[in-house]
Chain A
Amino acid sequence: MITLEHVSKVFTSGGQTVRAVDDVSLEVGAGELVVLIGPSGSGKTTTMRMINRLETPTGGRIIVDGRDVLTLDVVELRRRLGYVIQQGGLFPHFTVADNVAVVPRLLGWPRRKRRERAEELLALVGLPPERFADRFPRQLSGGQQQRVGVARALAADPPIILMDEPFGAVDPITRKQLQRELRRIQATVRKTIVFVTHDIAEAFLLGDRIVLMSEGRVVQDGTPADLLRHPADPFVTAFIGEDRGMRALHYTSLAELAAPAGEDAPSDGLALPGTMTVLEATRELGLRGATAGDGIWVTGDAGERIGHLPFHRLAAVLGETLAPEQSGPDPSASPEGEPSDGLPA
């Protein structure tokens, strides 16, 4: 749906050149939610803004729906791409409802339909329309404004949505709620979404794929599980941070750990589906209490046994991933790009 081929962007201002995006290639499939994450200044916003042509690439090509964006009518392109802008960017002289309905208005929807759509979306993002629809943006908190921004991007039901830190100014509780809401929307309507965030937890929660950027380049592009299990380099490890083990368990399925049952494997024991994650399996074991046998039988889609996972192996996996690593000096700069504190080992 969206393809970036060797895209670069060099800004030149006052004799200085900034390589904001450096040879980025990226593919976002239809219905996929791809998260761009990386330290401040790593080129996430610039990458996103080249997709709806708010910036023009200085190199490479961007293809949306099979067509080079530079050959498309820019106004039409933008109306097909929902856009949540990083700093909110609401129109201060429009009411909240008018802000939400701005693209429908540009598309010539009748007034009543616009109003209905705005109210529907305000309710969706947790702003009761009877209280918020007729206010002006300056009468809203930062987080509320951001939610209006999200509603605005959804208004004309665009197939593709670009979201630049849409929940950045929202409190953690509302944020969780909005993330859940986005997942719910995503599960039902399947938009193609490019989502920029600083928050690694958000990235893992929402992303079908995570693209980690640093200094204008893609450091790693993969599923959450890929990033956890095969970090491309120490920067990725450092960026993912301390919860990596916990997260990894969340993405590791029993099927991946089960080995073909040996001769000595007992025939009895608890059977669990191979799609279950290690975390879910441990919870399940806790709930069942004592079980027969010395491991878990892992079953396939049809309930057939596809392998056996002895308890000692499960314990070893938990131990390896959760126990603090034998860590030497910090392998790289921290995610924020600050130097490590340089204490002697």
Chain B
Amino acid sequence: MDYLREHPDRVWELTRQHVELVAVTMFFAILIGVPLGIVITRLRWLEGPVIGTTGALYTVPSLALFAMMIPYTGLGRRTVVIALTLYSLLAIIRNTVAGIDGLPAATLDAARGMGMTGTQRLVMVELPLALPVIMAGVRLSVVAAIGIATIAALMGVGGLGRLIFDGISRLDSDRIIAGALAASVLALGADWSLALLGDLLRKDTRASRGWR
């Protein structure tokens, strides 16, 4: 605890770096994962290959993945962002597909029957209704990415992992605890605030929960 008390600025700076890294990662993961999920619901044959590949990637230990990528993308931020994005894709793609698949058939029938085009159906009906499930996937990915990003400190990209690895090399358990604690709090906080955001975005229950 002493380290936290003595160097709040340092911990804060590393936390900021950590958040930034995860945020950039999630930006790409959502940008790629949600559209891919949507495409899968239209072109079903893609499901096996895409889920299979991202699933396999998910099982590769992060340190190994970093190491494998270094020859191609170098030692640094680029590698870390790509690797973290690949890890995040699985949950986001899978939940996008599940969210859209799980919509009541009658609702989708109505959307088609009312004369919505494919795009209108997607934007007006499918995505808004699948959003809670997609958000759940994002939460899962964010929490995992915050954890994996600590290891990324080995790649020289900063973040809370720095504290942990510094602590290990200096045999300073205070630093290790400070880093681990900050990362956990960050993960919990992210999870909680994304859950809250998800609730705010849910339109169909707002009124019944006394909102408005």
Interface string of A62-105 (1 = CB under 8 A from B): 00000000000001111100010111111111000000001100
Complex CA distance for A90 and B107, rounded to whole angstroms: 6
Q: Which residues of A contact B110 (CB under 8 A)?
A: 83, 85, 89-91
Give the Cβ gap from A82 to chain B, nearest Cβ, in Å.
9
Q: Is the CB of A93 within 8 A of B114?
A: no
Q: Is the CB of B115 within 8 A of A92?
A: no
Q: Which residues of B contact A42 (CB under 8 A)?
A: none
Answer yes or no: A183 CB below 8 A from chain B CBs.
no
Complex CA distance for A152 and B112, rounded to whole angstroms: 14
Answer yes or no: A138 CB below 8 A from chain B CBs.
yes
- B106 in complex: contacting residue of A79, A88, A138, CB < 8 Å: A88
Q: Which residues of A contact B188 (CB under 8 A)?
A: none
Q: Which residues of B contact A138 (CB under 8 A)?
A: 204-205, 208
Answer yes or no: B113 CB below 8 A from chain A CBs.
yes
Q: Which residues of A contact B31 (CB under 8 A)?
A: none
Complex CA distance for A52 and B110, rounded to whole angstroms: 11
Complex CA distance for A10 and B185, rounded to whole angstroms: 58
Q: Which residues of B contact A135 (CB under 8 A)?
A: 207
Complex CA distance for A17 and B158, rounded to whole angstroms: 62
Q: Which residues of B contact A79 (CB under 8 A)?
A: 114-115
Q: What number of residue pairs across chains A and B have CB atoms under 8 A from each other?
A: 69
Known contacts A93-B129, A136-B208; decide if A75 and B106 are in contact (CB<8 Å).
no
Q: Is the CB of A92 within 8 A of B109?
A: no
Complex CA distance for A10 and B80, rounded to whole angstroms: 54
Answer yes or no: A54 CB below 8 A from chain B CBs.
yes
Q: Which residue of chain B lies nearest to A162 when distances are taken between CB atoms in the complex?
A: B113
Q: Is the CB of A92 within 8 A of B116?
A: no
Answer yes or no: A282 CB below 8 A from chain B CBs.
no
Answer yes or no: A139 CB below 8 A from chain B CBs.
yes
B residues 109-151 touching A (CB-CB < 8 Å): 109-117, 120, 124-125, 128-129
A residues 129-160 touching B (CB-CB < 8 Å): 134-139, 152
Q: Which residues of A contact B202 (CB under 8 A)?
A: 93
Answer yes or no: B16 CB below 8 A from chain A CBs.
no
Complex CA distance for A126 and B33, rounded to whole angstroms: 45
Complex CA distance for A92 and B102, rounded to whole angstroms: 14
Complex CA distance for A38 and B129, rounded to whole angstroms: 35
Q: Which residues of B contact A102 (CB under 8 A)?
A: 114
Q: Which residue of chain A lies nearest to B118 when distances are taken between CB atoms in the complex?
A: A75
**Residues of chain B at the chain A interface (Cβ within 8 Å):** 104, 106-107, 109-117, 120, 124-125, 128-129, 202-208
**Residues of chain A at the chain B interface (Cβ within 8 Å):** 52, 54, 75-79, 83, 85-93, 102-103, 106, 134-139, 152
Q: Which 8 A-B pairs have the closest CB atoms?
A: A89-B110, A78-B115, A79-B115, A89-B106, A93-B203, A87-B106, A83-B113, A92-B204
